[in-house]
Chains A and B, each alone.
Chain A
Amino acid sequence: MSALSQQTIDATRKNEGHLLASWQANLDASGASRDSRIKQAEFEGQTREFLRLFLASANGSDTANITGSEWADVRGFLDGLSRSRALQGFDSQTTASFIFSLKRPLFELLQAQYASDASELAAQLWAVTELLDTLGMYTVRAFQKSREEVIARQQEELLELSTPVVKLWDGVLALPMIGTLDSQRTQVVMESLLQRIVETGSEIAIIDITGVPTVDTLVAQHLLKTVTAIRLMGADAIISGVRPQIAQTIVHLGLDLQGIVTKANLADALALALKRSGLTVTKAG
């Protein structure tokens, strides 16, 4: 186990101002702080805050292990920092360099401090390197975790966004499908459509597949399932938006869409739905 000596911590504390300035200069040189997404003052506040927490935690603790309770504040700070960086759209390198650019100023400080004691200098350099590396890695991990959270949330939102059930007429629902149909999406689509059928008491549901790029056997099977479920509930389903290429694919694959009413576009499907509901559209005057 290696640890920062009291002398190192005292020296760091004494030269805090100088250290902050050169750290800032380093960050400036790497371009990390000259970004319109983050304010200069905010950046300086973050470096000051980190150094304060760092010195408070570093006192006598093991530099190879930052999972202990004495590092809780530093970890919390880095979590917050990584999250905000991830949300602002910074990449992992810029985020990690926040920690790594502290190395050089610290090394220079140690060199000046232990100029006469080579072995102690080596020991302290090792301790600082180990500590900063661990903290840097922790930052990258936290950054990655926040990014993954963002991606997962976006996927979820996309799933819900892409399946709106709209009411076209009294008793006529439409579901414009956009994007590839997989099992999970079919499930979500089916559930929301069936739920809306119950809520609105609609007798006709139009599934528009204009936005579905390809129809293969699996997609056809999902469509069939949805149509069957709609029929079981006591409503009718019409599939619209069958593009010429898709019609060809369906025929070439030998898919059986028997018993399913298909229409070329949504207008035709709506016309059929209105006709079935006993409604006619006439020109006024």
Chain B
Amino acid sequence: MERIPILRMGDFLLVTIQVDMHDELAITLQDDLSERISKTSARGVLIDISALDMVDSFIGRMIGTISGLSKIMDAETVLVGMQPAVAITLVELGLTLPGVITALNVERGMKLLRERVQAE
């Protein structure tokens, strides 16, 4: 079965979505990620969606849910690399993802994560 890899980088987990997201894949990712966070007690999660160029309302909501659940499991979540078209679509769909931290690229996302974890 197709899976989105979750990589461990020290205290952080790195999720890079490089395939077209479909509903089942999003649900699997949600399960896998929560599992991995509890197993590794990660302090931060970085989700890179720079390769994602199409979203629908379900995927949009899943992105929000994934960020929300990692935060509840005490891992800061940063969403990075959203494409302009995706941002416009989400706004038009009314999915403004309040509370989700965003960054322009992986490098800045990592910097942001380190700062936030250190601040705690």
Contacts and interface: CB of A to CB of B under 8 A. Distances in A.
Given A197-B104, A201-B105, A228-B96, A233 B84 contact: yes
Interface string B68-100: 000000000001111110111011100011001
Interface string A195-230: 101100101000000000000000000000100111
Contact of B96 (A187, A194, A232, A234): A232
B102 interface: yes
B81 A234 contact: yes
Per DSSP, are chain B's interface residues mostly helix, strand or loop, or mixed? Answer: mixed
B44 interface: no
A131 interface: no
Nearest to B63: A232
B38 to A, nearest CB: 27
B88 A203 contact: no
What is the size category of the interface that chain B forms with chain A?
20 to 34
Given A232-B96, A234-B80, A190 B104 contact: no
Contact of A228 (B91, B108, B109): B91
Given A201-B105, A232-B102, A233-B102, A191 B80 contact: no
A219 B105 CA distance: 30
What is the size category of the interface that chain A forms with chain B?
10 to 19
Nearest to B90: A232
Contact of B104 (A195, A225, A235): A235
13 contacts: A190-B88, A195-B84, A198-B104, A201-B104, A203-B108, A228-B91, A229-B90, A232-B79, A232-B82, A232-B86, A233-B102, A234-B104, A234-B105
Interface of A: 187, 190-191, 194-195, 197-198, 201, 203, 225, 228-235
Given A228-B96, A233-B82, 12 more contacts: A190-B84, A194-B88, A201-B104, A229-B87, A229-B88, A231-B102, A232-B86, A232-B90, A232-B96, A233-B84, A234-B81, A234-B102
